[in-house]
C-alpha cells in the first residue's frame, strides 16, 4: 500500500524513551465527540492517552445524520456549509525508524502527498469519476503542515438537483499522531472554491493536539 512504501523509506534515530512514546502513539485509537456550545462547537477525538480537537463557529451548528457513512466519518452542518471530518489510520505496523512524534517536514510531505495521490487515483480508476480542475498546494497553519487539494466532477444527467448544487470538493489534510485527518467541504463551481477554502482554514487554525485525554462535560 502507498503509505507502507513511504514509511519504509523514511529513517530517523530513535532513543529508548522515544521508542516507548512511539509505541504509545502507534497503538492509539480515537473516538469522535461533538460538544455544542453557544455560537460554537468543539469536535474532540479522544485516544487512550492523546487527543486532538478543533472549533466550529456559526449561528447554527449541528451534526448531520447520514445513512451509510463509514465509522471514521462525520458530517456537521455549519450554517449553510457542510463539513465532513474523517480520518485514515496509517498502516500498521509502523516501521521502527519512523518516529511519529517527531516527523520532519519532508516526511510529512511524502506521506500526505502519497495519501492524496492514492485517493485521487481511487476516485478516477475505481469510482470512474471524471475529475477536472484538480489542484494541490501546501499551507502551514499554526506550525502544522496541511496539504490542500480540490477537484470538480462531471455529474451525469440523472444526478439529482440537490447534488448538482455542488460540483467539487476541497480538502485540508494533516497528520495527527498515527492518522491522516481530513477536513473537507463541497463547493459549487470555481467561484465558490476560495470561500470554501477560507471556511476550512478557519477550522484548521484551531486544530490542537494533546498528549493526554480531554475530559468531556456531561
CATH of the domain at 102: 3.40.1000
> How many domains does the chain divide into?
1
Q: Read off the pLDDT band of 136 (50, 70, 90).
A: very high
Mean pLDDT of 117-146: 94
Beta-sheet strands, E only, within the chain: 31-36, 40-46, 51-57, 61-64, 73-78, 81-89, 131-141, 144-153, 168-176, 179-187, 208-210
Torsion angle (degrees, nearest 10) of CA 214, 66, 131, 125: 90
Q: Read off the pLDDT band of 15 (50, 70, 90).
A: very low
Q: Is the pLDDT of residue 8 over 50?
A: no
What's the rounded Cα separation, in Å, for the pair 193 and 201? 12
Cell of residue 91, nine digits: 498502516
Averaged confidence pLDDT in the chain: 84
Tell me which H or E stretch contains 6. helix 2-8
pLDDT of residue 210: 96
Confirm whether 186 is domain-assigned. yes
Q: Is the pLDDT of residue 116 over 70?
A: yes
Confirm whether 41 is domain-assigned. no
Strands 168-176 and 144-153: antiparallel
Confirm whether 85 is domain-assigned. yes
Domain coverage including residue 6:
2-14+61-206
Q: Is the Cβ–Cβ distance between 132 and 154 less than 8 Å?
A: yes
Confirm whether 35 is domain-assigned. no
Question: Coil, strand or helix: which one is 144?
Answer: strand
Confirm whether 70 is domain-assigned. yes
- The model carries a pTM of 0.84
Q: Is the pLDDT of residue 69 over 80?
A: no
Q: Read off the pLDDT band of 24 (50, 70, 90).
A: confident
Amino acid at each position: 500500500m502507498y503509505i507502507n512504501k513511504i514509511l519504509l523509506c523514511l529513517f530517523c534515530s530513535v532513543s529508548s524513551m522515544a521508542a516507548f512514546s512511539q509505541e504509545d502513539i502507534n497503538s492509539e485509537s480515537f473516538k469522535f465527540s461533538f460538544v455544542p456550545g453557544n455560537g460554537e462547537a468543539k469536535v474532540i477525538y479522544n485516544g487512550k492517552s492523546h487527543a486532538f480537537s478543533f472549533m466550529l463557529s456559526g449561528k447554527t451548528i449541528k451534526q448531520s445524520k447520514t445513512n451509510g457513512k463509514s465509522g471514521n466519518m462525520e458530517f456537521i452542518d455549519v450554517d449553510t456549509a457542510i463539513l465532513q471530518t474523517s480520518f485514515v489510520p496509517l498502516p500498521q505496523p509502523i516501521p521502527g525508524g519512523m518516529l511519529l512524534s517527531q516527523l520532519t517536514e519532508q516526511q510529512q510531505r511524502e506521506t500526505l502527498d502519497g495519501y492524496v495521490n492514492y485517493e485521487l487515483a481511487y476516485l478516477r480508476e475505481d469510482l470512474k469519476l471524471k475529475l477536472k480542475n484538480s489542484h494541490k498546494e501546501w499551507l502551514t497553519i499554526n506550525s502544522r503542515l496541511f496539504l490542500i487539494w480540490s477537484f470538480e466532477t462531471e455529474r451525469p444527467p440523472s444526478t439529482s438537483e440537490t447534488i448538482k448544487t455542488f460540483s467539487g470538493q476541497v480538502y485540508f489534510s494533516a497528520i495527527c499522531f498515527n492518522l491522516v485527518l481530513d477536513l473537507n467541504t463541497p463547493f459549487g463551481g470555481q467561484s465558490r472554491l476560495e470561500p470554501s477554502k477560507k471556511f476550512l482554514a478557519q477550522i484548521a487554525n484551531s486544530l490542537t493536539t494533546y498528549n493526554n485525554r480531554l475530559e468531556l462535560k456531561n
